[in-house]
Amino acid sequence: MTQRWVRLSAWARMQGISKMSAWRMAAAGRIPGAQLNELNRWMVLVEDEPPATTTVAYARVSSQDQKADLDRQVARIAEWAAREGVRIDRYVREIGSGLNDRRRELGALLSDATVATLVVEHRDRLARFGAGALERALGATGRRLVVVEEREIDDDLAPDMIDLMTCFSARLYGRRSARNRARRAAEVLKVDPDAKVAQA
C-alpha cells in the first residue's frame, strides 16, 4: 500500500469535516501523520487504498436479430462460473460487429482499471480479429482474459462478413452505396457460392 502527502484541507474533505475542525485537530496533535512542512502548512500522510478489482463477463452478438443469444451467452457463462467457483461481479451485454472497434461497452471495460478479469464465452465474442493482441494488452497491465470455451463458433459470421465487404466496397465505390453493394454481394454468394462478387 502506497503513502502520499496531502494538504490538510484535502484531508478534511476526505474525512467530511470542515477545514477549521481539521486545523484544530492537527494543532492538538490528534491527526496521525500530520505535520507542518517547510512553508508552515499542515500536511497529512495518508495511505492510498488499492482500487477494488472486479470480474466482468462480456457477451456480444453482431445484430439485433441475434439479441436472444445474449441471454444464452450470459447463462452459459453463469453456469461455468458456478461450476468453477468464479465470482462474476457484473454482466455486460453488447450488440455490435466483432470486426471493428466501435463498441462502447467493450471500450469502457478495457479502459476501466478496476476490471481485473474479463470473461467471455468464446474468443471471437471479444473480437473477430486481434483478440490475442487485446489479451496481451490486458496482461501487460496485470489484468487477464478468461475464455470459457476455446472452440470457435460461426453463428454470426455472415453479418461480420457484410461489415467487412462494406469496408472494402466503401473504398472502391464510395460510402453511400457501399452497404447496399455488400448486401447484394452476400446474397449472390448465398444463392451461388461459385458466383463472382463482381456480378453484384
What integer pLDDT is reported at residue 70 of this predicted model?
Answer: 87
Q: Which of 158, 116, 166, 161 is nearest to 139 (CA)?
A: 116
Q: What is the pTM of this model?
A: 0.53
Q: Which of 157, 146, 151 is nearest to 58 (CA)?
A: 146
Give me the chain's average pLDDT, please.
79
Average pLDDT over residues 125-139: 79
Residues 192 and 124 in one domain: no
- According to DSSP, the residues that pair with 7 across neighbouring strands are 43
Average pLDDT over residues 50-64: 83
What integer pLDDT is reported at residue 41 of this predicted model?
Answer: 92
Q: Which of 43, 25, 47 is nearest to 34 (CA)?
A: 43
Average pLDDT over residues 2-8: 88
Q: How confident is the model at residue 117 (pLDDT cuts 50, 70, 90)?
A: very high
**Residue 134 · residue 128 · CB < 8 Å:** no
Residues 90 and 7 in one domain: no
**Residue 92: which residues within 8 A CB-CB, separation 6 or more?**
56, 57, 58, 59, 105, 109
What integer pLDDT is reported at residue 200 of this predicted model?
Answer: 42
Residues 136 and 161 in one domain: no
**One of 18, 62, 97, 177 is an active-site residue; which one?**
62
Residues 43 and 98 in one domain: no
Q: Give the structural domain span for 180.
A: 157-199
Domain assignment of residue 152, yes or no: no
Is 62 tagged catalytic?
yes
